Amino acid sequence: MATTLDRPSSDNAIFAAMEPHDSGNFANNNTPLIRNCWYAAARTHEIDRTPLARKFLGVDVVLYRTEGGEPVAMRNRCPHRSFPLARGTLVGDRLVCGYHGMEFGADGACAHLPAMGHAPATASVRTFPIVDRGPLAWIWMGAPDLANEALIPDTHWLSDPAWGTVSGDFHILCDYVSMHENLIDQTHFPFLHPDTVGTPEYARSKLTASTENGQVVIRRELRDAPPPGVYGKPANIMHKKVDRTSEARFVSPALHTAYARVAVGDPDPGEPGLYRYNITHVFTPETNNSIHYWWFNSRDYRPGDAAIDRFMLEAHTQAYSEDVEALQWINEVVRTDGEEQFDLSFAPDKPGLMARRIMHRLAMAEAG
């Protein structure tokens, strides 16, 4: 059920959680990480015939491709003496430990142990389901029997040639719960991002929030207002008043999407009257206090235009760098301040609290 946040909400559970003396059943930086979820492991081009070490949800993983091009993900730790397998070498489709030469197939089973001449039946390395989808490889760190590929989030526009996409990535020292709350909180835009996505009019526009099939959806509408520079400049419509609608969505613990439509009532001759942008935020917790983060900004006009690509890349790198800096500052305060604090929350914080409640429920269900 949707609620409009320019008037008091009737959701008593949310307002109860806003009391400063009680954090409620909401995920935070100490909540156990959610494992039964498809997370991004890497860009597909990063995984090749050179073993790549990366940590997901506190587990060291090694990534590589078979000779046939299939991605492989296995624990980056030899079961014999814990040598990191990413320091080994690939021979065919076998990953050879650099310490005692144990050879492991793509299924994690030991195929050869030179010191014994035969492979011990008990020697194996845990592997993880991993699947290529567009520009990303998605990994499942939870219960293997629950790894349904149909649950991999739909991001088809990232591979659609009709959309022009720019992208970047960060390694961030913060928790993924705070990252989700930051992305779904649009009230900070005019203050943290005044030169890119934020305008004072946007901060005051009506906001509705709802939950749909385990996702949190927020929608905004702003009519007859100047466009933000990040959308207006590449479209060359800064001299226009526009109607702007947006939808931001907490999709899963691994994904946040946003869709913006900018409509021009009196477009210049030969120019479109509607510009669409899809913003895709993908992140994977490395630990409770660090994440891998990939972002993509896609537009439905003039794909391949180098000047627009350059502008969009620079503008969004600036905006997301501002988010990264803010979140790392907050994380430093939370980790090092010796006096405990329960942060206040207010009505506009409701979408973030809704997402945190979903994440808490998922984490507690896994914990049993």
Q: Based on the fold, state whether residues 120 and 189 are members of the same structural domain.
A: no
Residue 9 lies in a domain: no
Q: Based on the fold, state whether residues 84 and 118 are members of the same structural domain.
A: yes
Provide the number of structural domains found in the chain: 2
pLDDT at 347: 82
Residue 148 lies in a domain: no
Q: Based on the fold, state whether residues 80 and 181 are members of the same structural domain.
A: no
Closest CA to 40 of 130, 146, 172: 130
Q: Based on the fold, state whether residues 82 and 124 are members of the same structural domain.
A: yes
Residue 173 lies in a domain: yes
CATH number of domain containing 179: 3.90.380.10
Contacts of 270 (CB under 8 A, 6+ apart): none
Q: Based on the fold, state whether residues 323 and 260 are members of the same structural domain.
A: yes
pLDDT at 341: 87
Q: Based on the fold, state whether residues 304 and 238 are members of the same structural domain.
A: yes
Q: Based on the fold, state whether residues 96 and 202 are members of the same structural domain.
A: no
CATH number of domain containing 102: 2.102.10.10
Distance CA 156, CA 290 (A): 27
Residue 2 lies in a domain: no
Q: Based on the fold, state whether residues 190 and 277 are members of the same structural domain.
A: yes
Contacts of 187 (CB under 8 A, 6+ apart): 203, 348
Q: Based on the fold, state whether residues 103 and 242 are members of the same structural domain.
A: no
Structural domain containing residue 329: 153-337+345-367
Residue finishing a domain among 101, 132, 163: 132
Q: Based on the fold, state whether residues 100 and 173 are members of the same structural domain.
A: no
Q: Based on the fold, state whether residues 159 and 304 are members of the same structural domain.
A: yes
pLDDT at 202: 62
pLDDT at 11: 44
Residue 4 lies in a domain: no
Residue 264 lies in a domain: yes
Contacts of 19 (CB under 8 A, 6+ apart): none
The dihedrals phi and psi of 249, each to the nearest 5 degrees, come to -140, 125
Contacts of 257 (CB under 8 A, 6+ apart): 155, 248, 249, 251, 278, 279, 280, 281
Helix axes 350-367, 176-184, angle to 10 degrees: 150
Q: Are 202 and 231 in contact (CB under 8 A)?
A: no
Question: If the chain, 368 residues long, is cut into consecutive pieces of 10 residues, what is the mean pLDDT of each piece?
Answer: 39 46 76 98 98 98 98 97 98 97 97 88 95 98 97 97 98 96 79 62 74 92 88 93 93 96 95 96 97 98 97 93 93 92 85 94 92
Beta-strand runs (E) in the chain:
3-4, 38-43, 52-56, 59-65, 71-75, 89-91, 94-96, 103-104, 110-112, 130-133, 136-140, 164-172, 206-212, 215-225, 242-252, 255-264, 274-287, 290-299
The 3-state DSSP class for residue 344 equals: coil
Residue 91 lies in a domain: yes
Q: How would DSSP label each residue in 27-41? A: --TTSPPP-SSEEEE
Q: Based on the fold, state whether residues 61 and 180 are members of the same structural domain.
A: no
Residue 80 lies in a domain: yes
Count of H-run helices and E-run strands, the chain: 7, 18
- The tally of CA atoms less than 13 A away on the side-chain side of residue 131 is 14
